[in-house]
Structure 1
Amino acid sequence: MSAISAERTPAPTRTTSTLELKGVSRWYGNVVAVNDVSMALGPGVTGLLGPNGAGKTTLLHMMAGFLSPSRGTVTLDGSPTWRNPEVYRRLGLVSEREAVHTFLTAYEFVLASAKLHRLPDPEEAARRAIALVELEGAQSRRIGTYSKGMRQRARVAAALVHDPQVLLLDEPFNGMDPRQRLHMMDLLHRLGAAGRTILFSSHILEEVEQVSGTVQVMVAGRLAASGDFRTIRRLMTNRPHVFAIRSTDDRALAVALMAEPSVTGVELGRTELTVRAGDYGSFTRALPKVALAQGIRVRQLVPEDESLESVFSYLVEA
C-alpha cells in the first residue's frame, strides 16, 4: 500500500466525546434484541464482536439515535441520542444496509451529505473526505458502477465529511478486497489516534484483532465480555474443544489419547472417536505424535464446536 500523504491524515480533534449506555434493552414484542447492556466508549477504536443475530446492529442504531431504548439510556456527552438531532454534528454512522443512490457519483453523494450538515465549504469538505478513503480517481464515476468495497468507502466518506468526533460502523469491511481492507484498517487506527471515538462491529475475530485492542463481545443480545482483546482471545483459545476423529484404529487411539494432559474426555462411537480437549493448540500438536507412535493413520479430524455461536456462547458461561 502506498504511503499516505500528510493531507490525507486526519487532524487531531480539539475535543473528545464519550458515548455511554446504561442498562440498555430493546425488544420487539416478545423478542429481546438487546438485553441490559452497559458500556462507556471514549477516544480510540473499539470492536463490537459477535455472531450474526447477536444484536450488534440494533445496539448501533440505538447509539446513533435511530432507535429508542425500550429500557435504559444512551447518551453522547451526557445528552440522549434519541430524538436529539444535535448529536449528528458530532456523530457519523455507516450502517450495514446500503442506502446509496446509484445514479450519483461518489463526489455528488458525499457533497450532498456535506450540504445536509450545512458545512461552510461543502465542496472542500467533500474533496477532503473522498481523499481520506482514497476515491479521488473514481469520484466522478456513478456509484452504480462501483464494486461493493468501493461503495463502502464512499459511504465512509459521507459519514466523515463533517469531521465527527464519534464514528459508528456496522460491518465496514464487507466486500472490500485485501488492499481496501488494509487501507480502511489504517484509517480507523489514525482516526482513533487523533482522538476520535470509533466503534465498528464485526463477526470476524481477525478483523477486530487487527484494528482494535479493546473489544465488546455480544451474544444473544447480551454483553458477554468486555475489555482487552488479548485477554478475551485467551479465553476463547483456552476454552474446552470437541473433536470428531476417524482413524484406522479408533479404539487404540482412544486408549493412547487418554494419557495426554490436554485431553479431558474420550468417547468411542460406532463410526468415530469423540475427544474433548482443554487446550486446542496442545491437543492438535499432540495428536500426530500419538498416532505416529501407535502406527495409526488419522483419516479425519473435525472440530465439532467451532461455530461462532459456540465460541461466543462459551464467554457467557466463563
Structure 2
Amino acid sequence: MAVISIERVSRWFGNVVAVNDVTMQIRPGVTGLLGPNGAGKSTLIHMMSGFLPASNGTVLLDGQPVWKNQEAYRQIGLVPEREAMYDFLTGWEFVLANAELHGLPDPGAAARRALATVEMEYAQDRQVGTYSKGMKQRVKMASALVHDPAVLLLDEPFNGMDPRQRMQLMELLRQFGSDGRTVLFSSHILEEVEQLARHIEVIVAGRHAASGDFRRIRHLMTDRPHLYTVRSSDDRALAAALIADPSTAGIELDWKERALQIRAIDFYRFTELVPRVAKEAGIRLFTVSPADESLESVFSYLVAAK
C-alpha cells in the first residue's frame, strides 16, 4: 500500500512549469528520486512534505492531504537541500529546538538520541556555522529524525559528505527501509543510488519519465540497442554466427579488452541466441555481461529520450 500518493500533480511559478502532471506512489522501503538539475525533484519533495501546495492535483499521506495538515508533520522528517540554518546555534541547540517544536515529552533525550544516530555527538557543542558541508548535512539529518518519523524525505542528503560519512548514512537508510519506514531520497551520485534504492522514480523536465527497478526499465526501452560485452574461446567465429541474426545490430572486436562489443536490438531473442549459437559451434563462453545497465546509462537514455 502506498504511503505517499501523488495524483496528476503540477506546480508552476508564474509562467514556469516546475512539475507537470506527475503521478507516482511511494511505498515503504527506500526509493531513489532521480533527475538532472532543474528537473523538479526539490519542488516535488517540498509538495510531499507539505511545505508547498500543488497548483493542480493531489498529494496524499496515508490517504489524507498533506498541504495544511499539521498532523502530517508528526510523521514526516525532511532534509532539504538548502543550507538555510541558524549558524549561531550549536548542533545540540539546533536539534533540541526541533525536538521542542515537535512538543516531545523529553526533548533532551530525543536530541541526544538523534545526534548519536548520525554520529555527531563529538561536535554537538560547536556552532553550526563552523561545520563543514558534510557535518551540516548530518545535523540536518538529526533534526529530521528527532521525532522518530515514519516517512523520511531527503533532498540530496549525500552532498558534501566524505566516503565514510556516505557509507554510514547509506547503512542508516538501509536499516530504516528494513524497519518498514518510507524513505525517499534524491541524489546525483548514481552509483550510490544503484546500491541503495530498491526502487527508483525518474523525473525529467518536470515530467515522470520512469518508475521501478532500473534494469527492468532498461529492458523496456526497446527503441535503443542493449550493449553487451562478450568473451569467448573464439570471438571471431562467435561474431560471424551472431551478426547474421536480426536480433544483433552490430558487433565490434575490442582488441584491447579481448572481447566483443555487441549491440542487440531484441533483448529476449539475443539472450536466448548467444548460448545456443555458442553450443552449436563448440565455443566456450567466458563472459556475457551487459555494458549499459548501470543506473547512469539508464538515466542518460531517459534524459536523451526527452
What's the TM-score bracket when you normalise by the shorter of the two chains?
Answer: 0.7 to 0.9
Same amino acid, percent of matched pairs: 63
Counterpart of 2:206?
221
* TM-aligned CA deviation for residue 287 of structure 1: 3.9
Counterpart of 1:302?
none
**Residue pairs, 1:86-165, within 5 angstroms:** 86-165=71-150
Counterpart of 2:51?
66
Q: TM-score, normalised by structure 2?
A: 0.75
Distance of aligned partners of 1:138 and 1:239 in 2 relative to their CA distance in 1, 3 Å threshold: farther
* TM-aligned CA deviation for residue 107 of structure 1: 0.9
* TM-aligned CA deviation for residue 238 of structure 1: 9.5
* TM-aligned CA deviation for residue 79 of structure 1: 1.2
2:19 is matched by which residue type in structure 1?
V
- Between the aligned partners of 1:127 and 1:313, the Cα distance in structure 2 is 43
Counterpart of 1:85?
70
- Between the aligned partners of 1:309 and 1:43, the Cα distance in structure 2 is 23
Q: TM-score, normalised by structure 1?
A: 0.72
**Residue pairs, 1:110-259, within 5 angstroms:** 110-232=95-217, 239=224
* TM-aligned CA deviation for residue 315 of structure 1: 5.4
Q: Do residues 18 (structure 1) and 3 (structure 2) align?
A: yes
Structure 1, residues 44-101: CA drift from partner, whole Å, max 9, x if none?
A: 0000011111110010011011111111100111111111121100001111001211
Q: Do residues 311 (structure 1) and 296 (structure 2) align?
A: no
Distance of aligned partners of 1:314 and 1:125 in 2 relative to their CA distance in 1, 3 Å threshold: same
| Kept in 2: contact 1:96–1:170 (CA 8 A) | yes
* TM-aligned CA deviation for residue 145 of structure 1: 1.6
* TM-aligned CA deviation for residue 39 of structure 1: 1.2
* TM-aligned CA deviation for residue 310 of structure 1: 4.7
| Kept in 2: contact 1:51–1:308 (CA 8 A) | no
In structure 2, the residue corresponding to 1:126 is in which secondary structure? helix
- Between the aligned partners of 2:222 and 2:121, the Cα distance in structure 1 is 42
1:174 is matched by which residue type in structure 2?
N
* TM-aligned CA deviation for residue 179 of structure 1: 0.2
- Between the aligned partners of 1:53 and 1:260, the Cα distance in structure 2 is 46
Bigger mean CA offset, 34-43 vs 114-123: 34-43
* TM-aligned CA deviation for residue 237 of structure 1: 12
Distance of aligned partners of 1:133 and 1:234 in 2 relative to their CA distance in 1, 3 Å threshold: farther
Counterpart of 2:279?
none
Q: Structure 2, unaligned stretches of length 5 or more?
A: 227-239, 259-295
- Between the aligned partners of 2:241 and 2:196, the Cα distance in structure 1 is 37
Distance of aligned partners of 1:144 and 1:315 in 2 relative to their CA distance in 1, 3 Å threshold: same
| Kept in 1: contact 2:77–2:151 (CA 8 A) | yes
* TM-aligned CA deviation for residue 211 of structure 1: 1.0
Q: How many residues are paired up?
A: 255
| Kept in 2: contact 1:202–1:208 (CA 8 A) | yes
* TM-aligned CA deviation for residue 17 of structure 1: 7.5
- Between the aligned partners of 1:217 and 1:313, the Cα distance in structure 2 is 9
* TM-aligned CA deviation for residue 232 of structure 1: 3.1
| Kept in 1: contact 2:47–2:53 (CA 8 A) | yes
In structure 2, the residue corresponding to 1:69 is in which secondary structure? coil
Q: CA RMSD in A?
A: 3.1
In structure 2, the residue corresponding to 1:189 is in which secondary structure? helix
Distance of aligned partners of 1:49 and 1:73 in 2 relative to their CA distance in 1, 3 Å threshold: same
Distance of aligned partners of 1:230 and 1:75 in 2 relative to their CA distance in 1, 3 Å threshold: same
- Between the aligned partners of 2:169 and 2:112, the Cα distance in structure 1 is 18
Q: Structure 1, unaligned stretches of length 5 or more?
A: 1-15, 242-258, 263-276, 292-305
| Kept in 2: contact 1:225–1:315 (CA 8 A) | no
Structure 1, residues 255-286: CA drift from partner, whole Å, max 9, x if none?
A: xxxx9979xxxxxxxxxxxxxx978xx75xx3
2:14 is matched by which residue type in structure 1?
G
1:140 is matched by which residue type in structure 2?
D
1:67 is matched by which residue type in structure 2?
L
- Between the aligned partners of 2:96 and 2:249, the Cα distance in structure 1 is 55
- Between the aligned partners of 2:242 and 2:99, the Cα distance in structure 1 is 61
Distance of aligned partners of 1:260 and 1:70 in 2 relative to their CA distance in 1, 3 Å threshold: farther
